[in-house]
């Protein structure tokens, strides 16, 4: 069987280069290309050379349509506006879209859901196997521990991260809310400053820290008057996200159009 051709949008970014190296190191996969925004200084460079892999004879393009046309799957950890455009290209070319873009709003997610009627799209706030297991554990814990247990979610990332709370923290909040049978938007407390009212029973709180080169740390705390349960995940290297993204692309090979997530890939759904 021919190598599975995987391209990377935003290929010279912090995550993009890790994804390229992951593809190159995965049996049965080959780099099909990489794209960057118009005006980016890396345009025209060899994709492999940009990731420290040596030249592979494929230039970085500013046209994502070229990338999708050359690929069986495209990995996208860029920005919401670009990811929505890439979802449309997936419907036009039949390529699989694996998206790990954070900061996606409800309208952005709706656009991906619409595109998934005509393309296989795997979208997840986090492609770590451990984080996805954590989400299931959080949902289970929230279903067992009633509102006598306050839920707080603390996360820390590197200083350059733009969105807050992180997409993973919000996904953990959704898991906790699902366990409680409520909508996160109704119970989320995303910031406290100054003199605040007493904590509302049933709220799910978020705390955000930024600094240094922290890849990603998430702690979900269930705190009652007499005891505290903490579920923690610490990412130590971005390769865990790239390994999950490539695994998702391979899993989606041959799948019908649909809106999938990492829980589907790992078989964690009921």
Q: How many Cβ atoms are within 10 Å of 141's Cβ, its own excluded?
A: 18
Name which residue leads in pLDDT, 4 or 238: 4
Distance from chain centroid for Cα 172: 12
**Domain 4-123+238-266 belongs in CATH node 3.40.50.720:** yes
Task: Specify the domain boundaries for CATH 3.30.360.10 within the chain.
Answer: 129-235
Q: Which CATH number fits domain 129-235: 3.30.360.10, 3.90.105.10, 3.40.50.450, 3.30.565.10?
A: 3.30.360.10
Tell me the average pLDDT across 256-262.
96
Tell me the average pLDDT across 27-38.
96
* Orientation of helix 129-144 relative to helix 167-180, angle to 10°: 30
Q: How many CA atoms lie within 13 A of 148 on its CB side?
A: 8
Residue of 102, 241, 98 lying closest to 171 (CA atoms): 102
Task: Specify the domain boundaries for CATH 3.40.50.720 within the chain.
Answer: 4-123+238-266
- The pLDDT confidence band at residue 85, using thresholds 50, 70 and 90, is very high
pLDDT surpassing 90 at residue 20: yes
* Orientation of helix 14-24 relative to helix 239-252, angle to 10°: 60
| Enzyme catalytic residues | 157, 161
């Amino acid at each position: 069987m021919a190598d599975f051709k995987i391209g990377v949008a935003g290929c010279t970014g912090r995550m993009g280069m890790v994804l390229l190296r992951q593809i190159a190191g995965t049996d049965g996969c080959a780099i099909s290309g990489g794209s960057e925004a118009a005006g980016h200084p890396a345009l025209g460079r060899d994709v492999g050379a940009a990731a420290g892999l040596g030249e592979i004879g494929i230039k970085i393009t500013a046209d994502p349509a070229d990338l999708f046309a050359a690929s069986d799957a495209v990995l996208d950890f860029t920005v919401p506006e670009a990811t929505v455009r890439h979802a449309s290209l997936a419907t036009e070319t039949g390529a699989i879209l694996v998206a790990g873009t954070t900061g996606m709003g409800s309208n952005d997610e709706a656009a991906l859901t619409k595109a998934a009627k005509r393309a296989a799209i795997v979208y997840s706030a986090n492609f770590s196997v451990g984080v996805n297991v954590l989400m299931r554990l959080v949902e289970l814990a929230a279903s067992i521990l009633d509102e006598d247990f306050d839920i707080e979610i603390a996360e820390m990332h590197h200083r350059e991260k733009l969105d807050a709370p992180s997409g993973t923290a919000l996904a953990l909040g959704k898991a906790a809310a699902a366990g409680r049978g409520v909508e996160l938007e109704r119970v989320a407390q995303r910031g406290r400053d100054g003199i605040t009212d007493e904590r509302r029973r049933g709220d799910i709180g978020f705390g955000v820290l930024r600094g240094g080169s922290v890849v990603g740390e998430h702690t979900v705390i269930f705190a009652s008057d007499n005891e505290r349960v903490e579920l923690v995940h610490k990412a130590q290297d971005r390769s865990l996200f790239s390994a999950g993204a490539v695994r998702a692309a391979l899993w989606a090979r041959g799948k019908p159009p649909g809106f999938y997530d990492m829980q589907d890939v790992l078989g964690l759904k009921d």
